Amino acid sequence: MPKVLISDKLSPRAVDIFTERGVDVDVKPGLSPDELAAIIGEYDGLAIRSATKVTRDILDAAPNLKVVGRAGIGVDNVDIPEATKRGVVVMNTPFGNAVTTAEHAITMILSLARQIPAANESTQAGKWEKSRFMGTEITGKRLGIIGCGNIGAIVADRAQGLKMRVMGYDPYLTPENATRLGIEKVELDELLAQADFITLHTPLTDGTRNIISADALNKTKKGVRIVNCARGGLVDEMALAAALGTGHVAGAALDVFENEPATDNILFGMDNVVATPHLGASTTEAQEKVALQVAEQMADFLVKGAVTNALNMASVSAEEAPILKPYMVLGRQLGSFLGQVESEGLQSVSIELDGKAAVLNPEPIVASTLAGLLGPVMESVNMVNAAAVASANGIAVSTVRHDRQCDYETLLRVTIKHASGSRTIAGTLVGGDKARIVEVQHIAVESDFPAHLLYLRNYDKPGFIGDLGTLCGKYGVNIATFHLGRRDVGGEAVALVEIDGELPDSMLGDLRALKQVVRVDALQFQQ
Ligand SMILES: NC(=O)C1=CN([C@@H]2O[C@H](COP(=O)(O)OP(=O)(O)OC[C@H]3O[C@@H](n4cnc5c(N)ncnc54)[C@H](O)[C@@H]3O)[C@@H](O)[C@H]2O)C=CC1
Ligand SMILES: O=C(O)CCC(=O)C(=O)O
């Protein structure tokens, strides 16, 4: 039974879902990095929110880890490139807390406009400072949204309900979507110059770090108010403190900070600052949704092979997973055959899907084929990183889905081009799920993918089988199955010979010396 660790505070519904779906679960929030590293080796899955940092050190200590599930949106606490290298799928729940976070941003806008937190504190302290808390109306004010994705779009909708005029800066926002969302699409400088309120809703990336810098703040309108419910690091906190100090920025409401937990920060204690401790996603409804969703996704992956909302792998639905699985095995074995035969100078790979295979989601099949192909040549290649590894090594990958009559009910063909030529192999599924070779170099020949297979290219001449049998006898190698194919009588031929156990190295030399033999490869297949 797969085993998952929940290392942050998640709704208890997650435990129920894991248990109902056949996954063992331990709940241990608040572990230090060392404590987590000491136990993570036992687990197949790790479910987190934002407190757990999934670093290279944690991944190094997790040889069995297959999936990290983030109950939330931002995954900047997970080292995705390192997870990918190790074949660990990283999933998030991209929608579960979006409404709640957008509502927090709207709350922050209103809190700033009417100075609610400070007014509350003063009133409850027995002061009656009516004239100190003069507010600003938000009706008709310009709201600039930086990042108009899921959350930004919901903020735009709610702000329009409050009669704000909404503009947005997002390089990936199409004019059509901007019109549909009622957002005036502008460049960053225009937004900075015109907005009365600026709210941030981008991920933290190299492109967005310090997007609100000292320079950007200089371009803003005097009296602007700034809201950040996305990530600390988007706003330069020193520059913001300076701009608040001069009064150029009238107020800032921050849910997120450069260093969290933020127990000390240059902005704390300033009159016009509202701060919350990363509460954007903290409503009962959102936490229920993300916990439930992450548990469902992780359990479906670990139990059925379904992949949903992964950031480093193609999606596979729970319905598709059992159908795709045998094709992924077939692709891996065909790839492995070619990868063992031809390991040098790979230039391109073409994966053709014919018959029933042509209507399937090709991405997982292609990923598995590439993992099989590159595995014998490169270390640490897996389904999760195979496409990236191929691309990084300049190997062009193409997929062809044929819409034509096929001799087989279903067929996969893999063709590679390498420095000195090309190789091709095709396979089918027998009985719906058993991988079988049906062609090598366009020569019809049938074989399973046994643990040990001799692949011989020879000439179709009398004496070959006798010579091969004699050598096997001499070395004590038992032939389990024997399959022959030829292009034409007396011409190029192929033999696929299943043997019981590994081929002795010295026998390989003797086989290659046989006069009818062109090449011999001793192949091994994962069972
Ligand atoms: N405070 C909290 O508790 C929460 C914070 N978040 C944060 O909110 C962020 C946004 O979440 P979603 O809207 O769901 O993500 P999303 O991926 O739907 O939207 C992000 C948008 O940012 C845009 N973007 C990327 N680079 C940009 C750039 N350089 N300039 C302007 N726009 C850029 C993208 O095109 C995209 O439209 C998350 O990445 C997460 O860090 C999310 C949930 C809760
Ligand atoms: O889990 C949380 O409380 C934080 C949520 C968040 O920041 C996110 O989903 O990106």
What is the model's pLDDT at position 361? 93
The answer to whether residue 306 sits within a structural domain is no
Residue type, 510: D
* Residue 8's pLDDT band (cuts 50, 70, 90): very high
CATH number at residue 479: 3.30.70.260
* Residue 419's pLDDT band (cuts 50, 70, 90): confident
> Final residue of a domain: which of 440, 472, 488?
440
The answer to whether residue 280 sits within a structural domain is no
205 & 89 share domain = no
**Average pLDDT of span 331-337:** 97
**Average pLDDT of span 251-270:** 97
292 & 152 share domain = no
156 & 257 share domain = yes
The answer to whether residue 52 sits within a structural domain is yes
pLDDT tens, position by position, 177-200? 999 999 999 999 999 999 999 999
197 & 53 share domain = no
Judge contact between 92 and 387, C-beta under 8 A.
Answer: no
What is the model's pLDDT at position 343? 74
| Residues at CB less than 6 angstroms from ligand 2 | 49-50, 72-74, 97, 278, 280-282
The answer to whether residue 203 sits within a structural domain is yes
CATH number at residue 406: 3.30.1330.90
227 & 108 share domain = yes
DSSP helix/strand/coil, 353: strand
Whether the complex's predicted ipTM is more than 0.90 is answered with yes
What is the distance in A from the centroid of ligand 2 to the CA of 114?
26
Of the two residues 277 and 458, the one the predictor is more confident about is 277
* Residue 460's pLDDT band (cuts 50, 70, 90): confident
The answer to whether residue 389 sits within a structural domain is yes
The answer to whether residue 310 sits within a structural domain is no
> Final residue of a domain: which of 408, 440, 472?
440
Of the two residues 433 and 378, the one the predictor is more confident about is 433
DSSP helix/strand/coil, 144: strand
**Average pLDDT of span 49-73:** 97
Cβ neighbours of residue 399 under 8 Å, at least 6 residues apart? 350, 351, 352, 353, 362, 366
What is the distance in A from the centroid of ligand 1 to the CA of 102?
11
* Residue 342's pLDDT band (cuts 50, 70, 90): confident
User: What are the counts of helices (DSSP H) followed by strands (DSSP E) for the chain?
Assistant: 17, 22
121 & 140 share domain = yes
For residue 99, pLDDT over 90 is answered with yes
pLDDT tens, position by position, 301-323? 999 999 999 999 989 998 999 99
469 & 425 share domain = no
Q: What percentage of the chain has pLDDT greater than the value 90? A: 89
Region class of 310: left (phi > 0), else alpha (psi between -120 and 50), else beta: beta
Cβ neighbours of residue 152 under 8 Å, at least 6 residues apart? 145, 146, 168, 170, 199, 201
> Which stretch of 10-24, 263-277, 339-353 has the lowest confidence by average pLDDT?
339-353
Catalytic residue among 260, 288, 363, 492: 260
260 & 386 share domain = no
What is the model's pLDDT at position 345? 86
The answer to whether residue 309 sits within a structural domain is no
For residue 401, pLDDT over 90 is answered with yes
Take atom 23 of ligand 1 and give the residue whose Cα is closest.
Answer: 147
pTM above 0.80, yes or no: yes
pLDDT tens, position by position, 112-157? 999 999 999 999 999 999 999 999 999 999 999 999 999 999 999 9
For residue 55, pLDDT over 90 is answered with yes
Q: Is 278 a catalytic residue?
A: yes
Of the two residues 405 and 402, the one the predictor is more confident about is 402
CATH number at residue 75: 3.40.50.720
Question: Best substitution site from 9, 49, 73, 282 to test ligand 1's pocket, by max atoms within 8 Å of Cβ?
Answer: 73
- Which ligand 2 atom is the nearest neighbour of the CA of 71? 1
What is the distance in A from the centroid of ligand 2 to the CA of 201?
13
242 & 370 share domain = no
Q: Where do the H-state alpha helices sit in 356-455?
A: 362-374, 386-392
pLDDT tens, position by position, 223-255? 999 999 999 999 999 999 999 999 999 999 999
Q: What is the mean pLDDT of the chain?
A: 95
Q: Is 86 a catalytic residue?
A: no
* Residue 349's pLDDT band (cuts 50, 70, 90): very high
Question: Best substitution site from 150, 199, 202 to test ligand 1's pocket, by max atoms within 8 Å of Cβ?
Answer: 202
| Residues at CB less than 6 angstroms from ligand 1 | 72-74, 94, 97-98, 101, 146-152, 169-172, 201-203, 207-208, 229-231, 255-256, 278, 280-281
Cβ neighbours of residue 83 under 8 Å, at least 6 residues apart? 54, 59, 68, 89, 90, 312, 384
**Average pLDDT of span 154-177:** 97
Closest CA to 137 of 158, 178, 118, 165: 165
48 & 178 share domain = no
> Final residue of a domain: which of 381, 414, 440?
440
For residue 359, pLDDT over 90 is answered with yes
The answer to whether residue 305 sits within a structural domain is no
What is the distance in A from the centroid of ligand 1 to the CA of 149?
6
Q: Which domain holds residue 64?
A: 3-94+285-300
CA distance 133 to 115: 7
348 & 456 share domain = no
Number of domains in the chain: 4
Distance of CA 444 to the CA centre of its chain: 39
Closest CA to 424 of 488, 494, 328, 522: 494
Angle at 18 between CA 14 and CA 20, to 5 degrees: 115
* Residue 267's pLDDT band (cuts 50, 70, 90): very high
What is the model's pLDDT at position 436? 97
What is the distance in A from the centroid of ligand 1 to the CA of 159?
17
What is the model's pLDDT at position 491? 86
What is the model's pLDDT at position 12? 93
Catalytic residue among 49, 104, 278, 457: 278
What is the distance in A from the centroid of ligand 2 to the CA of 293?
14
**Average pLDDT of span 362-380:** 91
Take atom 43 of ligand 1 and give the residue whose Cα is closest.
Answer: 73
233 & 373 share domain = no
Residues in the chain: 527
Q: Is 248 a catalytic residue?
A: no
